[in-house]
Structure 1
């Protein structure tokens, strides 16, 4: 029995033409699921990714089981599922920009998935030169975690902004977290509305969708805070 397709022929055709006009280089999707059976959206996320993979020859999907493929899970630091990594594929080498989707990239977040695939395939961030220069000069690692819900129309802008920053800098990692699937994780950061962006586990917080320059400013602010705290420690010793 064939399972019901998630993408209608109409949508599949639209996505195919987006990939055709926008994609350049090959993209590797690494998908982490679990065989332990307590993951409500793991199967449907896998199906969605398989349907997307079919739409362009440059997209390659590898599926891993977090319980059985422990080495891969550790290499990519995946402890929660469903987890999707969108990476560059150059020959047989995978280049991981640090882009993650935790939870199903559905509804509005489906556009984040598609735009991330096309952006990674271009091997460039599409950010302004000022932002690229700022990110190039980072001396600290930055993690940007964007809590979203699938029905939030403003969320993909923040997800894409953070994923672009991850492409622009090896020091930046970016994560979309679907808050409904990970309620404890969202509660940890007091997420009440989305998008809710967490910088370095709470060093900084950005509520709502903001322009590129605003997020840069918030990252700068968080870094000042980080170095201020480090500076204080030196005084006490």
Structure 2
């Protein structure tokens, strides 16, 4: 299964093993089991510290566990960990074999101190670019804490279980047989949920921090650029982020980032975070801003209050909170979110193999989603509100060449319908005839753009009618000392490279404000 180049690379990685590990396979007579046996045999042959047993008793077949000899496996792979999940396999081998993980010591200590038993099961698709982050986080917890087990389950291979649990989006995580979470999660995010005292400890720690010169709210491309430019000026810089990387984490292929021919969102997000951490920047991750109090109301320093009750003060603030998926806001949408209503065709598309789906939106994102899904599902119906598609001509030509795609224009979605458990169709209004029509289907992929993440700023800053932060050419907002950059602003084009430039502009403007301001540093 592994070509010579990959085997050579894996062999080099396995030289880092500090102790023996054992692969314990549970197989049957299926073709997938034969493939798994081939894979595990190849892996075991690459290092004398790796051995293979095929007498496993896991009821999910094919599957295998990774453990130290003599121990029961705490990491399991139900399905072939190829594609995006191959890295999860490599890290599981290395970490079980004693290679130190690349996480902060405080996180390691927090994992080791968790009391109780935690049985995590993560349903994934091999095309999902967010799934490996979750699998790797839970695998790490299983390596470090004997009370934790982690199982990756390929939803395409275990369809009966997917259907029984009515899983319609990945990654979906179960903890001790109860649904725990959905979507990308870092190890810190998982710990924040299972360690009940974590939030209070974080709030107390944050509230004790001294005022910043520049506080950046948001960890996407704009926020990262702003932080780097501020830190290079030698001033006290902090970053407050819900998740570092922002919307980039949900982007698969990136081919228009100048000087980088192609990359993927999670890779770029990791590079951004690593670059920021090269400087003396206080990064506060997994923190949501709740309120902004301008300097004129906060006694000379700007105050940012957090959801967890903590508060930070700064001489200047740069808002780079980005955007989130725009929803249709029709009856039934919220009821069936992750039960047939999806936003990521790359992640969730494989779960709809052979089924009927709709794509809402005729821009580049919508047409690209329809093209990708057409290779997986039985039929795609693309609905566009306007009387023409807005996607690039080359994408429209490709779409029109596909036999299992229907395009409906001048269509206004009016309702998502379901049986109480999952989606079974949608209704739309023909904007020409005014007739209400219904389509029977199993999945709906919403691709109608983004909304700025600025709800928490209403009544504090000037916002456009679309909710964007109004800025001038220097990134200045309507409040003194508060600047903004990226997709949350009135900047006309929402692109990664534009957001980075805007972040740099806002940071330089903030520095200019500081050197011209008489605001006290503390």
Q: State the TM-score, normalized to the length of structure 1.
A: 0.75
Distance 2:166 2:106 in 1: 32
Aligned to 2:54: 63
Distance 1:199 1:129 in 2: 25
Gaps of 5+ in 2: 197-522
- Alignment coverage as a number of residue pairs: 196
Task: Specify the SS of the correspondent of 1:41.
Answer: helix
Deviation at 1:7, TM superposition (A): 1.4
Aligned to 2:32: 41
Task: Specify the SS of the correspondent of 1:160.
Answer: helix
Q: Which protein has greater RCO, CA pairs closer than 8 Å, 6+ apart?
A: 1
Match of 1:24 among 2, 15, 18: 18
Aligned to 1:86: 66
Aligned to 2:134: 158
Distance 1:182 1:219 in 2: 27
Distance 2:165 2:100 in 1: 31
Aligned to 2:192: 217
**1:50 paired to 2:36:** no
Deviation at 1:214, TM superposition (A): 0.9
Aligned to 1:115: 91
**1:15 paired to 2:6:** no
Distance 1:136 1:120 in 2: 15
Q: 1:125 to 1:14 in 2, by over 3 A?
A: closer
Alignment of 1:116-155 (within 5 A): 116-122=92-98, 127-155=103-131
Deviation at 1:180, TM superposition (A): 0.6
Deviation at 1:124, TM superposition (A): 5.7
Whether contact under 8 Å (2:17, 2:99) holds in the other structure is: no
Deviation at 1:126, TM superposition (A): 5.3
Q: C-alpha offsets along residues 93-128 of structure 1, whole Å, 9 cap, x if unaligned?
A: x22351111111122222211110011001766554
Q: CA RMSD in A?
A: 2.0
**1:101 paired to 2:77:** yes
Aligned to 1:184: 160
Gaps of 5+ in 1: 1-5, 65-71, 222-237
Distance 2:51 2:112 in 1: 29
Q: C-alpha offsets along residues 146-183 of structure 1, whole Å, 9 cap, x if unaligned?
A: 11112222222211110110111111111000111111
Distance 2:75 2:86 in 1: 15
Match of 2:182 among 203, 207, 213: 207
Task: Specify the SS of the correspondent of 2:177.
Answer: helix
Distance 2:173 2:148 in 1: 14
**Which stretches of structure 1, 4 residues or longer, exceed 3 Å deviation after superposition?**
123-139
Task: Specify the SS of the correspondent of 2:138.
Answer: helix
Distance 2:27 2:73 in 1: 20
Q: C-alpha offsets along residues 69-110 of structure 1, whole Å, 9 cap, x if unaligned?
A: xxx52xxxx112111010013xxxx22351111111122222
Task: Specify the SS of the correspondent of 2:82.
Answer: coil
Task: Specify the SS of the correspondent of 2:128.
Answer: coil
Q: State the TM-score, normalized to the length of structure 2.
A: 0.36
Q: 1:130 to 1:186 in 2, by over 3 A?
A: farther
Task: Specify the SS of the correspondent of 1:188.
Answer: helix
Aligned to 2:171: 195
